[in-house]
Amino acid sequence: MSAHAETHGAHPPVANRSSRVDSRLLGIYLFIASEVMLFGSFFSAYFFARVAVPHEEWPPHPYELPVYLALLNTIILVSSSFTMHWALQSIKRNNRAGLIAGLAITFGLGLTFLLIQAREYTRIGFSPHDLAFGTTFFGLTGLHGCHVFLGLTLLGIALVRSIRGHYGPSAHDHLGVEIPGIYWHFVDVMWIVVYTTVYVI
Amino acid sequence: MRNPVRTEAEAFSFVIAVLALFLAVALVGILLNGWAALVAFVVLAPIIGYRYFRSDPKVVEPAVWDRSRDADGRHRILVVANETVAGRSLRDEVVRRAHEGDAEVLVVTPALNTRIRHWTSDEDTARTAAQIRLDESLAALSKDGIDARGTVGDDDPIQAIEDSLRMFPADEIVVSTHPPGRSNWLEHGIVERASERFDLPITHVVVDLEAEAETSRTA
């Protein structure tokens, strides 16, 4: 029987334990941090164009944005966050059917979002080279669309794995769903900001 | 403080907070104009952000550290104490529990710090003081024949427990505080918050250092 303290000698002190997170979680933290900065640069360009370029109205005449179609897309994407959360809660309770259903619905909602956005692009009546407005609009929404696509890819992998019987109720066993879930919510948060700033205000 | 990307559940609550914020901003923008929406954002974002980040997560997430739980049959006790770490009554409680079976004890001493020192990362003094108290406690436990080790933890005791559980798969937690009226931890509801946060049995030990000092003087 012995007692000893975890001390350090002639070397740097040990890292604060708060920083000892799972390396895969740390990876997604850093990735999301870089994504926030990337979106930040696109938002900066958008607000610069909006404030610095003298237009009496925004969007500049004669362009119009499909606000209600984008609202429908917002509802779809926000709903997908709820189904994603349901999927995670299901596997934590060892409910595999709930996990598969939640992931499948989330995937379906995300795909619907992308298809609606693609349809919006084809009928919107302006293109990326129409003023700074067009460039920043397509830049922001397109960047977000790319993230939805990436999120769908991750969700698709998680869905296939869950159908094949992977994942379990303990945290270590469903990290493969947890991480895409965190990413999906990040994508959702970004869309809420994009929709409010670009379409509504 | 909450971390919105720590778990999916945390990220989901963050989505709800952001949704509430931007719903309000959008409403102001629709009813007034873009500049008013900007003002609403500047006003509401710190309020909603403060409420979100300072609230305790409601979801207990034991499984994050559950995977490190060993199956060697040893009973693991996590002891969390700061100024009371060398208290006689805490030591007696730990010894009593440890002698009930083959037990392993980890003593965590949060490095309590002032707010300004915390934000400026000036932790050295606090950690040194905590380490001295911890060493005294471990020496006393060693004399009592307890297999104990110790570490200095985060200055937030809840965070210190969570961090420790990632490395030490405890079966129970013992939280030691000063008596009611003199305990900062009790005022902040540390024991209740720990019970809500961690899915483990929690024992609260009250250590009256003044009474113990008086007793030892008269003895």
Copy the structure tokens of residue A85: 């959360």
Q: In whole numbers, what is the pLDDT of chain B averaged over residues?
A: 82
CB pairs < 8 Å spanning A and B: 117
Copy the structure tokens of residue B154: 């985060």
Distance from the A43 Cα atom to the nearest Cα atom in chain B, whole angstroms: 14
Mean pLDDT of A6-19: 50
- For residue A91, what are the domain limits? 18-200
Compute CA B133 distance to the chain's CA centroid, rounded to the nearest angstrom: 18
Mean pLDDT of A94-108: 95
| CB B143 within 8 Å of CB B189 | no
Contact B26 A178 (CB under 8 A): no
Burial class of residue A61 in the structure, from the number of CB atoms within 10 Å of its CB (0-12 exposed, 13-18 middle, 19+ buried): exposed
Copy the structure tokens of residue A186: 């990040």
Per CATH, the number for B64-218 is: 3.40.50.620
Contact B166 A5 (CB under 8 A): no
The answer on pLDDT for A8 being more than 50 is no
Cα Rg of chain B (Å, integer): 21
Mean pLDDT of B146-165: 86
Give the residue with greater pLDDT, A1 vs A54. Answer: A54
Q: Which of A83-92, A188-197, B24-33 has the lowest mean pLDDT?
A: B24-33
ipTM of the complex as predicted: 0.80
CA B158/CA A178 separation, integer angstroms: 23
Contact B15 A17 (CB under 8 A): no
Mean pLDDT of A31-47: 91
Distance from the B149 Cα atom to the nearest Cα atom in chain A, whole angstroms: 5
Q: Which of A6-15, A66-75, A131-140 has the lowest mean pLDDT?
A: A6-15
* Tens digits of residue pLDDT in B108-118: 998 888 878 77
Give the pLDDT score at B57.
Answer: 62
The answer to the question of residue A151 being in a domain is yes
* Tens digits of residue pLDDT in B161-211: 888 887 788 889 999 888 888 788 877 888 888 888 888 889 998 888 777
* Tens digits of residue pLDDT in A110-165: 999 999 999 999 998 888 888 888 999 999 999 999 999 999 999 999 999 999 99
Give the pLDDT score at A154.
Answer: 93
Mean pLDDT of A53-80: 87
Give the residue with greater pLDDT, B82 vs A139. Answer: A139
Residue closest to A125 by CA, chosen among A138, A111, A143, A114: A138
The answer to the question of residue A9 being in a domain is no
The answer to the question of residue A154 being in a domain is yes
Burial class of residue A118 in the structure, from the number of CB atoms within 10 Å of its CB (0-12 exposed, 13-18 middle, 19+ buried): exposed
| CB A45 within 8 Å of CB A131 | no
* Partner-chain residue, chosen from B12, B134, B163, that has the shortest CB–CB distance to A20: B163
The answer to the question of residue A10 being in a domain is no
Mean pLDDT of A4-9: 49
The answer on pLDDT for B68 being more than 50 is no
| CB B105 within 8 Å of CB B94 | yes
Contact A178 B8 (CB under 8 A): yes
Nearest C-alpha in A relative to B8? A182
Q: How far is CA A15 from CA A20, A21, A25, A79, B117, in A?
A: 8, 12, 17, 40, 18
Copy the structure tokens of residue A181: 């879930």
Give the pLDDT score at A42.
Answer: 94
Angle at CA B44, nearest 5°, toward B38 and B45? 85
Please report residues of A whose CB lies closer than 8 A to that of B163.
Answer: 17-18, 20
Copy the structure tokens of residue B11: 């990220």
Give the pLDDT score at B60.
Answer: 52
Percent of chain A with pLDDT over 70: 88
Look up residue A195 and give its DSSP letter. I
Residue A188 sits in a domain whose CATH number is 1.20.120.80
Q: Is A76 on the interface with B (CB under 8 A)?
A: no
* Partner-chain residue, chosen from B25, B150, B153, that has the shortest CB–CB distance to A196: B25
Buried b (16+ CB within 10 A) or exposed e, B43-61: ebeeebeeebeeeeeeeeb
Q: In whole numbers, what is the pLDDT of chain A averaged over residues?
A: 86
Give the pLDDT score at B67.
Answer: 42
Contact A18 B163 (CB under 8 A): yes
Domain residue limits, chain B: 8-54, 64-218
Number of domains in chain A: 1
Q: How far is CA B78 from CA A45, B147, B162, B165, B169, in A?
A: 52, 12, 11, 8, 9
The answer to the question of residue A2 being in a domain is no
Contact B26 A18 (CB under 8 A): no
Give the pLDDT score at B214.
Answer: 76
Whether the predicted model's global pTM rises above the 0.80 cut: no
